Every structure is written in structure tokens, then in C-alpha cells.
Amino acid sequence: MAPGSSRKIYAASARSHTRRAKQSSGLTLPSGIFPAVLLVLLAGLVSWGYQAVRPPLPKICGSSDGPPVTASRIQLRDGRHLAYQERGVSKDVAKIKVVFIHGLDVCRLDDVIAIYTSPVCAFICCFGLSFVMPSAITIFNILMMLSSQELVEELGMYFVSYDRPGYGESDPHPSRTVKSQALDIEELADQLGLGPKFYLIGYSLGGQLGWGCLKYIPHR
């Protein structure tokens, strides 16, 4: 082989080795990296969107930056406040004492006396229930339809409605349970001096707490 051709072969071989070295030294991304990055970006976008549209945390009534307290309130053993409203005759002379538990989207102001002592409201409510569900006409509905403030006074009925934790002007209780709320009712009754026994009316979702009271404070 001629000396010139041998040098050409060596030069071509050197260039080939150089190209392979450059190719092998390049960065190779692991398989599946792009879907993982896309998932992380999507999670970050969803988190940002949630933070952007989430309403601000409610301010506690009576706090330095919160709304003023306008309702009567008691302070529970754990330091929380429970707002309440009394109706009917004075509890000192009452023969029947009732604790009213409101539903999901209402408060202490939407109690049974405010709703049912108006004969027109009571008639509409009972008639509407009877039209949708005939079995909904009960003795309770009939009594409420016929009730009036005069009848409440004649029977000696006292009602107290309260804001459940986190509603109205009552302090929130993030770790609340059915049992803790039943004990709230018992403490409310004790601080108001309702005596060893009282009646309960649980409206709508308040019925859940009524069953809770039957389970956790049946002696009351």
C-alpha cells in the first residue's frame, strides 16, 4: 500500500473516532421526563388557580379585624363563643323550654318561632309539604300552623336558638364532631339555666345534631 493512502486511512479513522466521542458525550434525557414535567406544571397551575379563586378566611366576630358582636353570647369551656337568641316567655317562668338547632344555610335568626308563628307562613309551609309529600302533615305541622305569640305565652313556651360553630356570630370549631356539638348544646342549656331537662327541635340538617343529643346527652 502506498504511504499516502495509509495516511488518508489514519486521518479518516481519527475523524470517525472524534465524531463518536462527541456523540457519546451529549446529554441524554431519561425516558418519560416530559410527561413528568408536564404533570408538575399542571399541578402548579391548578394550585395557583385554587389559591386565586379561594375566598378569604372568615374573620371572627369580636376580633381586632373582625365584625362587631351584636348577639348575646356565652363562652364555652374551651374558650369559644356561642351566639344565641331567646324568644317566647322568660325562661324563669317557662313551662316548656326548647332549644332550636338551625339547618345548613341559615342561622339563629331563622328559628321555629320566627318561621311558624306567622299563620300565613305556617299555612304556606304545611300546604306546600302536603302537596309534595302528603305524609309530611304531622301533629307538629298542625300545631305550628295554629300557633301564635299569644298561644306561646299561654302555654308558657321558651325558645332559644343558637348559631352553630362557624355560623353567624359563633366562633368556628374546625375539629367539631356531632358529639362536640351535642356537648355545646348541653353547656348552652347549663349556662342559660334551662334545668335538667329541655326539648330539642332540629330543623333540616339540625336534625343530625338532634340525633347526636339523643346519643350523647340522652339524660337531658
pLDDT averaged over every residue in the chain: 78
In the chain, the DSSP E strands lie at 72-75, 81-88, 96-101, 157-162, 199-202
Evaluate if residue 22 carries a pLDDT over 90.
no
Q: What is the pLDDT of residues 50-80, one digit of tens each?
A: 777 777 777 888 888 888 999 999 999 999 9
For the ranges 129-143, 145-159, 203-217, which has the lowest average pLDDT? 129-143
| Per-residue pLDDT at 168 | 92
Provide the CB-side half-sphere exposure for 220 (13 A, CA).
26
Amino acid in position 5? S
Is the predicted pLDDT of residue 32 greater than 90, yes or no?
no
What local confidence, expressed as pLDDT, does residue 43 receive? 87
Q: Which three cell numbers stand for residue 114?
A: 320566627
Cβ burial, residue 212 (10 Å; 0-12/13-18/19+):
buried
Quote the pLDDT of residue 111.
73
**Residue 84 backbone phi and psi in degrees, to 5:** -145, 165
| CA distance linking residue 38 with residue 42, whole number of Å | 6
pTM attached to this predicted model: 0.65
Cell readout for 112 is 321555629
Question: Judging by DSSP bridges, how do beta strands 157-162 and 96-101 pair with one another?
Answer: parallel
Q: What is the pLDDT of residues 156-195, one digit of tens each?
A: 999 999 999 999 999 999 999 999 999 999 999 999 999 9
Contact 201, 112 (CB under 8 A): yes
23 has pLDDT over 80: no
Residue 101 has pLDDT above 50, yes or no: yes
